[in-house]
Structure 1
């Protein structure tokens, strides 16, 4: 163990008097002595505890410290119970010989410190803890419920003084030991996840050591046998974006084999819990798959609505009535690299752009659907949330190389002001772009498309096609991680002949449905007013005359249109969008 860990353990009552820059020294044993020359009993690496009975005067301190330093002692701890505060001459002697010095509070017995150090550095104790970990693994494998990663992380904290956390591949905090009094800052989580993914992609053997600020972390992959994460997977790219990682605040570079084996056992235990949670998602995934198949095959809206009502208690626990919906489509694709290492496909002739097989699937490429499914389940979770529960509320289906999420939204009032609600494409990826870019390295891409919110099952097919088209817009951009939303499907794009009719209908509904609903409720004639205003090229006086209205009344109606739709009728682009929507309706 390191001196820093001793200092951070409040129960030991240690106060640092000198050697701030030496706290990363390793402690391999402990010795209590009041001999004037204990060097014959020292082998190096010890924490020496002394009650200062050897000191008869200031001149005794320097020879004593010189002998300890020459024997390779890691640090000296002087008790204050018998003789009071540690004398200045001892502090000066330790500074001269660069030997860290601690004062031991009079309320703490040397036996307490000795027991603590021996427990931490004992290989036999590590073996005992490994046995405990193994028992927990058997319990979690055979029992109906396990304690989760927190239990084993607490074991690491209580028995080895190791602060540890479990992170998702996108850098979300899943679990942490109670020894870690504060959670890892978000930027540290994303940095660690990115460094881990980059190391895995290069094939470096773990644990991977990373320094962030003043702290050093050792990163261990959490590998399991479920959903494409088996050790015999064909390609690391099939697993790198879906594996959790264990981050330990320590430098494992000089750890003995016993401790490395222990941490390997811990990762296997966490993998059991990961597989348990994946199994718990099976029902949600199957229900989401059924809804997706109904939408894709053109089933009647009533049939889709009936299926959603049946699935709601599982897909949407606690939300009650059917909400509004958004559709998010994700795709993970890999470039083909000519002459690459074994297990990597060869580069296509089109500068890395891949030929596609049936249904848009790249010929001979890795199966991207399950990877995209796992990744979409993760990135749709609020990045500020921690623990497993938020991710367990996300239901995602996949078909071919594509993953599709049906995202429930709280129903908004018909009187809403037209401001954007629901998921925004850029916001989804803001917190995960850095680590995922590292995991995709130089040959992978993640593209996302986000639809507008729809208010019923009837609009789901259009929303799905809209999200797919938005994903194609994102795919046309440079970068390893890209997203596009329905807002970016501008008028000139919708005029292109390859755009599906469902996307056109979704565009029209998004602009005009708020106005139609308002007219139905208030008989306000906003749609006829909009048509007349556009026909009059935005002229207030001509339009007011045509509608036999006062100009102030016309201004009120146009203001209400802008408020409900979030558009500005003084802008040419928004006028054009309304013109096209009215013509396509």
Structure 2
């Protein structure tokens, strides 16, 4: 039934105090409570009845309503018997959280409302719909033979003619019936879903991608590791799955909406099962991280790595190389409790490290992510390079290449920007205007001795990424040259003064005379001060090049034959 139907029944004595644009919400149950935090007894879709005994002051209304809204309650009905009129602070709190609020006349018993809602809801769930839901439930709980989400989505297609997909928060397909989504559609749908979730709008959310309309239903983690419903939405927005249905659910009857909500709850059980399977890998990563950070002997770390390798790369014959990836999610502080970002960063990094083109969870079985404080740290094994690729020929060995195994692996390892290329759009939507994701990637190391250095390298790279503008930024080990590492941390006013002092005279001269002194300076430095190579690159006579360089030295008072002055110009150009 819809909330609107409650107002059409005079015997219930309900009067609407706010939320008239949300009256098409579907009521799937009713609960009476005067607990200050009833979240443990809520599953979503309830009409909550309260006598307001929990309210001791005006400050109590905001946290109570926030808990109800986070738990998916569709409406609140407050009795007038205890306080007379419903308090204004409760009305305002409901408006902020877009929760419809009703006043219950003191002459109407809560039992009357409860009986009416239960009778209506039970009647609408009768018949074939109940059979379909039960069929889904049996399939999802029948163990490996049940087939998981794929079978449930097949049933949606066969029973209700609905095409649907389960997507990760980055838009990666986890399950789906029939044909896959068009390329890029998953990321767009995830971005739409995350943006709608951040605004506080209740699902399903309507989205149009490539001329096709979809309805997006959240699939929230409901297991023992779930975040309580009363916590900040930012703690779960980047980790919840979603169900994308190729249909417009805005005009669906309550029975069909109820079925889809039931399906999301069943898929959430599968999500909990997969999360539980990650426990071993997370524990391995946590143990290795603690050993590395406490300065444990390399032999002890190596022994733990030998335990981790078969778990992360089953059947591996030789010890792999390892890379370290560090990620951090930062939220701007708002009123109330700070947001705990460490677990969110851990879950998000596990998702980022999965190949976006690989459906399902198989590739995630090789990912071990720990978290310490606000930071998530991934230990990523790299399969051994085939002998033909790893062993140089005699001529190469004679040139000194045989002792450089790590450099030969860079092309097969992880690259910072490549990790974020496919997920930047949806993650930016989930971070909105108050969140940032920064990520750093180390070079590959082949032993326990190198792991501590790899961790510090990844952390330095993440700090370089954090100094850049943008909501989602990454940096890799190859960007840790001295000037790249140091320049982002120079104060803006110092950078502006330094570059203006060196380059403004040249820019002004170029503007007046079209002399191209700035391009000449860049080419001269890029050619390491070689007159011949620079003149050839610029298609100039060497004498013309010497004239331009002389003009640069005259205007700036610098000498381009001196290393110090070359370095200053190099840094000024990089900072401009």
TM-score band (shorter)? Answer: 0.5 to 0.7
8 Å CA contact 2:366, 2:380 repeated in 1: no
Q: Which moved more, 1:452-461 or 1:387-396?
A: 387-396
Residue 240 (structure 2) aligns with = 243
Pairing partner for 1:383 from 342, 353, 356: 356
1:136: Cα distance to partner?
Answer: 3.4
- CA distance in 1: counterparts of 2:360 and 2:328, whole angstroms: 26
1:150: Cα distance to partner?
Answer: 0.5
- CA distance in 2: counterparts of 1:314 and 1:227, whole angstroms: 24
Cα 1:311/1:420, change in 2 over 3 Å: closer
Residue 467 (structure 1) aligns with = 458
- CA distance in 1: counterparts of 2:383 and 2:471, whole angstroms: 32
- CA distance in 1: counterparts of 2:242 and 2:316, whole angstroms: 32
Cα displacement string for residues 479-528 of structure 1 (whole angstroms, at most 9, x for unaligned residues): 111000011111235689x9xxxxxxxxxxxxxxxxxxxxxxxxxxxxxx
Cα 1:493/1:414, change in 2 over 3 Å: farther
Cα displacement string for residues 363-421 of structure 1 (whole angstroms, at most 9, x for unaligned residues): x6311111111101111011111112112221111111111111111334153785644
Residue 159 (structure 1) aligns with = 159
8 Å CA contact 1:127, 1:258 repeated in 2: no
Give 1:462-541 correspondences, 5 Å limit: 462-492=453-483
8 Å CA contact 1:164, 1:248 repeated in 2: yes
Q: TM-score, normalised by structure 2?
A: 0.58
Does residue 405 of structure 1 match 2:402? Answer: no
Does residue 422 of structure 1 match 2:413? Answer: yes
Does residue 135 of structure 1 match 2:132? Answer: no
- CA distance in 1: counterparts of 2:365 and 2:146, whole angstroms: 16
- CA distance in 2: counterparts of 1:232 and 1:317, whole angstroms: 38
1:145: Cα distance to partner?
Answer: 7.1
8 Å CA contact 2:479, 2:485 repeated in 1: no
Cα displacement string for residues 216-266 of structure 1 (whole angstroms, at most 9, x for unaligned residues): 100000012237544514110011100000000011111111111100110
1:186: Cα distance to partner?
Answer: 2.9
State the SS of the aligned residue for 2:306. helix
Q: Which has the larger radius of gyration?
A: 1
1:185: Cα distance to partner?
Answer: 2.0
- CA distance in 1: counterparts of 2:207 and 2:220, whole angstroms: 20
Pairing partner for 2:194 from 193, 197, 220: 197
1:131: Cα distance to partner?
Answer: 2.3
CA RMSD of aligned residues (A): 2.7
Pairing partner for 1:458 from 449, 453, 463: 449
Residue 257 (structure 1) aligns with = 254
Cα 1:274/1:145, change in 2 over 3 Å: farther
Cα displacement string for residues 447-481 of structure 1 (whole angstroms, at most 9, x for unaligned residues): 00000111111100000000001000001111111
Pairing partner for 1:368 from 299, 318, 341: 341
Residue 41 (structure 1) aligns with = none
State the SS of the aligned residue for 2:184. helix
1:122: Cα distance to partner?
Answer: 11
Runs of 4+ in 1 over 6 A off after TM superposition: none
Residue 28 (structure 2) aligns with = none
Corresponding residue pairs, total: 354
Cα 1:146/1:365, change in 2 over 3 Å: farther
8 Å CA contact 2:216, 2:242 repeated in 1: yes
Cα 1:240/1:404, change in 2 over 3 Å: same
State the SS of the aligned residue for 1:262. helix
- CA distance in 1: counterparts of 2:172 and 2:289, whole angstroms: 28
Does residue 317 of structure 1 match 2:314? Answer: yes
Cα 1:391/1:186, change in 2 over 3 Å: farther
Give 1:57-456 correspondences, 5 Å limit: 124-137=127-140, 139=141, 143=143, 146-177=146-177, 180=178, 182-226=179-223, 229-230=226-227, 232-337=229-334, 344-345=335-336, 365-412=338-385, 413-415=390-392, 418=408, 420-456=411-447
Cα displacement string for residues 414-463 of structure 1 (whole angstroms, at most 9, x for unaligned residues): 53785644111000000000000000011011100000111111100000
8 Å CA contact 2:213, 2:247 repeated in 1: yes
- CA distance in 2: counterparts of 1:297 and 1:473, whole angstroms: 24
Cα displacement string for residues 70-114 of structure 1 (whole angstroms, at most 9, x for unaligned residues): xxxxxxxxxxxxxxxxxxxxxxxxxxxxxxxxxxxxxxxxxxxxx
Please list every run of 5 or more consecutive structure 2 residues that lacks an aligned counterpart in the other structure: 1-123, 393-404, 490-527, 531-562, 568-576
State the SS of the aligned residue for 2:274. helix
Residue 108 (structure 2) aligns with = none
- CA distance in 1: counterparts of 2:346 and 2:317, whole angstroms: 26
- CA distance in 2: counterparts of 1:393 and 1:262, whole angstroms: 35
8 Å CA contact 1:133, 1:265 repeated in 2: no
